[in-house]
Amino acid sequence: MALNTLVVDDSSVMRSIVIKTLKLSGLPLGDIWEASNGEEGLRILQDKWIDLALVDIHMPVMDGEEMLTRLRENDQYENLPVIVVSSESAPGKIEKMLKLGATFIHKPFTPEILKEVIVAITGVSNEETD
C-alpha cells in the first residue's frame, strides 16, 4: 500500500526536509502533497485521497491545532493518521494534540523514528517497505 501523504508546514525548507526524510525512510510512498498552513491542508484533503498527514503546530492563517480539530469534526477524516511534527515543548499543547488523536514527533527527527511511527499508526508492514 503506497501512502498518499500531506505535509503541512509554513516553512518550505521544513516541508522539503520532511519529504526528503520520508523518502529516506524506505516507506512505500504514493503522492506527496504540500500545504503552508492548515487552511490549505484542509483544501487539499477535500480534493485528494490522503492516507497520512504530517502537520506542524505553529503556522499562520490556520495552525495545526485548529486544522486537527476541524479534521476530527469531519466523519470522513476522524480516523486519518496524523503526525504532528513540531519543536513545541509545552506539555499542555502537546497533550491537546494527543487528545485530538495525533501522534507527536519532536523536531529534529531521524528517518528511523519517522518510519517507526508511520508503521505503527498506519499498519504498513515491513514487508511492504522492503
Map out the domains of the chain with their CATH numbers: 3-129 (3.40.50.2300)
**Does pLDDT of 19 surpass 70?**
yes
Neighbours of 85 (CB within 10 A): 27
Q: What is the pLDDT of residues 9-18, one digit of tens each?
A: 999 999 999 9
> CB neighbours of 53 closer than 8 A, spacing ≥ 6?
5, 6, 7, 8, 41, 45, 71, 80, 81, 82, 83
Asked whether the whole model's pTM tops 0.75, one would answer: yes
CA dihedral 14, 18, 19, 24 (to 10 degrees): 140
**What values do phi and psi take at 3, rounded to 5?**
-90, 115
